[in-house]
A and B are shown apart, each in its own frame.
Chain A
Amino acid sequence: MRACFAVGLVALGAACTGTVVQPTHRAEDPEPPPPGTVVDPSLCTPVAEAPVRRLSRAEYRATLAALFPDVTVDYELVSDPTEHGFENRAELLNPQPLLIEQYSEVAAEFAAAAIGDMPSWMPCDAASAGEAACARTFLEVIGERIFRRPLTAEELGRYEAFLLAERDMADFETGVQLTLEALLQSPQLLYRIEVGDAAAEPLVDGALRLTSFEVASRLSYLVWGTGPDQALLERARAGELETPEQREAEVRRMLDEPRARDMLVEFHRQWLDFDQIANEPKDATRYPSYDAALEAAAREESDRFVARVMWEGEGTVEALLTSRETEVNDALAGLYGVSAPPAGEWAPATLDGSERAGILTRAGFLAGRAHRLEGSPPLRGIFIWERLLCRTPPAPPADADLSEPAASGSGALTNRELFEERTSPGACRGCHARFDGLGFAFERYDAIGRHRDLDNGQPVDPTGTFDADGARWEIDDAVDLSAQLAQSPEVEACVTGHWYAYAAGRAGAVEDQCRVAAAYEAFEASGGDVRELLVAFATSPEFIHRPTYQVGR
């Protein structure tokens, strides 16, 4: 089902009322229903759709890096299409000629680089074991890591024949190199193919049980965004991913690994659009301190902040939106008014709680939603509207003047006053009244994220109102707004939906509402701890199943 929309969901149990959850929706979708909407659980399907997923660009990079951590190849791939910022939607990750060509070239470069250091990773020595035996061992060990499961006898036979034929034309090393090049382009590496185990008894009616290695892959891409490590493969081999308890133990082990940090950073990069800052240059005269180094520092702080609060720290949405903790380098320390570490170093810092609270009050977000001269209240407000509240962003009318008012403004008007003047016509107010209250909360920050009390010599007015959670929020400023967002069920529901879609590789649809509801309940019960949300995903019975479908033509 292509269309997806906000679904009211049932808090688990018999009562058909509960918090509204939006498993993300598309621009053309209607507004989500208000909180408390009654939904029909009979619309839920037993297990989620599970289309074959091509690795996203980030997953592909992480997968290759994990396979050959000592091999360095500089490469770039065409960008993946996105939906709501997310780059891992299965239905959008289709092959295209340039990408397939790049896969081929990257595989060749990787294999060529790896072969130069073969003794460090080759599981056997051809000189002592014999070339044929070593070829077999190579395929069994390295092939398994690449395929994320043992190769079948037929697969072993095909790759072994190829390797030995190429050896006969050149030498053993060349045979291994070219075979590795082929393995790195295989469908088993580039796609997450779940054939299932038809012989296994399903725990969900009408569904097909996954093989234990397929479950291992689901776990590794869920928690790490990359392929399984050897320990996870061994659990799969031993059949130790069958019960919820076994999977929970494995997820908790995996969450302690730095790869989980990398995945958490990657999710937030996509969700909160960390890279946008590169697209919003600043006026050099107005902001002489905002050079490439400061922009890069602001961008990097986003990653470091997420790693700090979501992996090392509390791991909650509340912390993400309210934490004063961060890491700074010397360039960023000046912007935040904290002590600078030595040049070239990063150090932990605690920011002034009256000025900063969480990710929305950091330079990365503020400069990324700002024009050359001033911050953009509409861009900042709509961002929260769409990404944190899962509401459909209204499109500006075709003839809307999208240039920044400060560029042509005169007199002593503040940025807020200029925007209010620009959007004062009735045709504008209908939409702007709905989200400007969010955006104006950030008027205490300029276009590069510096805190200010005065704008153009006038006192800043960061107050506003906003309707959410069935009530009217009175907003004092961005710190206050962040605190309210951190406590909002609507935000928590939205975040659940984003995580569900990220984990599933597809935006949730009406038939997913029961699964999203279960995830939301676990999320809420944990105080919004994202790590517990991942555990909830992994321990659900649906996690080890996929729908049955007719194969072939």
Chain B
Amino acid sequence: MTRFNRRHFLRAMGLATGSLFLPSLVDQRHAHAQAPRRLMIFFTEHGPVSGRWELRRPGLPASGADWQMPLDDADPMSFTETLRPLHAHRADLNIVEGLSMTSAYIEHGFSSNNHGAAINNRLACMGGVRGPSFDQLIAEVEQPAAGFPYLFYSNGSCACWSGSPVYDTAGAQVNPGRLGGFSFLPNAFNRVFGALPTPGTPSVPTPIERSRARRSSVLSLVRGEYDQVLGQLSREDQDKLQRHRDMIADLERRAGVMGSVTCERPASPASGLSRDEVTRIALTQLYPLAMACDLTRVGMLKASELDAATIGAPAGSDVHQDAAHPSSNDPAATWMVNYYAHHAQQFADLIAAFKAIPEGSGTMLDNSLLIWMPELGNGWHDLHQMMFVMAGGAGGAIPTGRYLKYDENLAAPAGGRGRLLGPPHTKLLVSIMQAFGVDRSSLGVTSATAEDGSTIDLTGTLPGFLA
């Protein structure tokens, strides 16, 4: 790891010199050690417009075979309108077409509403509360010494679609941090970077700075008090407070090593920003800085629904009902192309931020995997022909600069009425877990009987994806 080029970094962030970050993330002792790997998920609502995001090239079949093509065409028009904002980063991308959320079809059938099915299955490949999502399993093996095992924010403010797709290793749904609702940034910056030293001349510490300096000592006392009461409780209550005690112990441990983090505290963004601006700053500052400072290695931002004006729909339109649901036809289809092109630009901004941070002989992106993960296959709730867009090689485990097309030739679970599906998306998530060193070959639902009587195998990796 080498010293950051401060000006380069700040310029890439689009910030005035000195306004944000002193990139003193330097620890020469680790200069030759393997850089940490990071996983960042950008989760967006609804889905892209089927037929208007996929890339094609003459000579490659539309169906009947799996194929890959290099993303090497310098012409931006070689990318569809939906994905064109990502063209500049084509050498760093993996775009995967054709996967199916088969586990959701197995569990929920083909006629369900599918928002709930997607929440259950997008990251965990099973419904409800029975097991962890893949990101949490990666967070188990990629833990920073200080900071946060997992950094999860959502800028939604509506409880109507706020279900979290994240399930912890006990199978419990994980809540996003949403301090301040969609304007969570000031609180998030304080939470993530608050314990870092402030640039400039040392001054008399404030009470909260005194608290942060002694946080592990306070938590040690608190942990001990939980130990004291455990013996007075019933077994069920004891289990509950023991879990609480263990979570305090984890905070205590991480607070104890905060002093080893050599970043300085960035200035907090202003409050009162638009929801879209919050998304942009979260993607281009909060997460890249947190990961550059090794304050977290696994994170997710769950973006709220875009508004009608952003996607070119008439004022007052209900984006969910008026744009997403009818997006198999125009004009809604065009609005949803705009919707997803807007997110593509945000994802491109995230990629640029990671590429702006030098690391080793390359950039932080080389050691990261960024995933743009729409909720559904499309706005009308299909859970097949899903779009996965990824950037970064996860430390060399995943080749980049590719478009991977998987054919839809597998029998569907019961209720599929003869339709054929592509490989289960579970296989991609298993591949990614293995790329991060998670020793698993399955996640969630592992098999089912197809409507033609054959066995659907959801285990193993996605052919041709890993290096």
Contacts and interface: CB of A to CB of B under 8 A. Distances in A.
B439 interface: no
Interface stretch (A96-104, A210-218, A349-357): A96-104
A162 interface: yes
B62 interface: no
B210 interface: yes
A398 B222 contact: no
B310 interface: no
Given A52-B237, A181-B211, A284 B248 contact: no
Contacts of B440: none
A506 B191 CA distance: 34
Interface string B234-251: 111110110110011011
Given A96-B174, A174-B210, A162 B221 contact: yes
A96 B172 contact: yes
Interface in B68-115: 108-109, 111-113
Nearest to B244: A95
B240 A52 contact: yes
Interface in B127-184: 149, 152, 158-160, 168, 172, 174-175, 177-180
A398 B109 contact: yes
Contacts, number: 154
Contact of A51 (B112, B160, B237): B237
B315 interface: yes
B218 interface: yes
B247 A187 contact: no
B200 interface: no
Contacts of B437: none
Given A166-B217, A178-B218, A100 B180 contact: no
B65 interface: no
A109 interface: yes
Interface string B280-321: 000000000000000000000000000000000001101001
Interface string A22-34: 0000000000000
A285 interface: yes
A472 interface: no
A551 interface: yes
Most buried by B among A105, A403, A552: A105
A466 interface: no
Nearest to A152: B228
Interface in B177-201: 177-180, 187, 191
A167 to B, nearest CB: 12
B244 A195 contact: no
Contact of B219 (A98, A104, A159): A104
Nearest to B252: A104
B452 interface: no
Interface stretch (A75-83, A258-266, A304-312, A432-440): A75-83
A127 to B, nearest CB: 19
Given A79-B175, A551-B234, A186 B222 contact: yes
Given A186-B225, A551-B231, A553-B238, A177 B112 contact: no
A101 B174 contact: no
B208 interface: yes
A268 interface: no
Nearest to A181: B218
B456 to A, nearest CB: 21
Interface stretch (A110-118, A295-303, A327-335): A110-118
Interface residues of A, number: 63
B206 A112 contact: yes
B212 interface: yes
Most buried by A among B224, B230, B321: B321
Contacts of B191: 101, 105
Interface string A152-184: 001100110010001001100010011001100
A552 B241 contact: no
Most buried by B among A174, A195, A275: A174
A343 interface: no
B232 to A, nearest CB: 5
Interface string A446-478: 000000000000000000000000000000000
A279 interface: yes
Q: How large is the interface on B (under 10, 10 to 19, 20 to 34, 35 or more residues)?
A: 35 or more
A136 interface: no
B226 interface: yes
A104 B195 CA distance: 13
B113 to A, nearest CB: 7
Nearest to B191: A105
Contacts of A407: 318, 321
A177 B175 contact: no
A284 B175 contact: no
Contact of A177 (B178, B210, B217): B210
Contacts of A283: 316
A279 B315 contact: no
B56 interface: no
Given A166-B217, A182-B221, A552 B244 contact: no
B215 interface: yes
A94 interface: yes
Given A109-B208, A186-B225, A178 B160 contact: no
Contact of B221 (A79, A111, A158): A158
Nearest to A52: B237
A65 interface: no
B208 A112 contact: yes
B214 interface: yes
Given A193-B229, A551-B231, A108 B212 contact: yes
Contacts of A78: 175, 177-178
A551 B237 CA distance: 9
Contacts of B247: 95-97, 100-101
Contacts of B228: 154-155
Contacts of B158: 278-279
A185 interface: yes
A284 B177 CA distance: 31
Nearest to B117: A398
Contacts of A284: 315-316
B207 interface: yes
Given A166-B217, A193-B229, A51 B236 contact: yes
Nearest to B206: A112
Most buried by B among A51, A158, A187: A187
Contacts of A178: 210-211, 214, 217-218
Contacts of A398: 108-109, 111-113
Interface string A56-81: 00000000000000000001101100
A76 B224 CA distance: 26
Contacts of B318: 281, 372, 407
B251 A193 contact: no
A403 B251 contact: no
Nearest to B181: A76
Contacts of A159: 221
B102 to A, nearest CB: 18
Contacts of B244: 95, 100, 187, 190
B233 interface: yes
Given A78-B175, A178-B211, A398-B109, A97 B218 contact: no
18 contacts: A51-B237, A54-B240, A76-B179, A96-B172, A96-B175, A104-B248, A108-B211, A112-B208, A169-B214, A174-B214, A177-B211, A178-B211, A178-B218, A187-B229, A278-B158, A281-B318, A403-B325, A551-B238
Given A95-B244, A552-B238, 6 more contacts: A78-B177, A182-B222, A190-B244, A191-B241, A284-B315, A403-B321
Interface of A: 51-52, 54, 75-76, 78-79, 94-101, 104-105, 108-109, 111-113, 115-116, 154-155, 158-159, 162, 166, 169-170, 174, 177-178, 181-182, 185-188, 190-191, 193, 195, 275, 278-279, 281, 283-285, 372, 398-399, 402-403, 407, 549-553
Complex A-B, nearest 4 residue pairs according to Cβ-Cβ distance, in ascending order = A112-B207, A95-B244, A52-B237, A100-B247
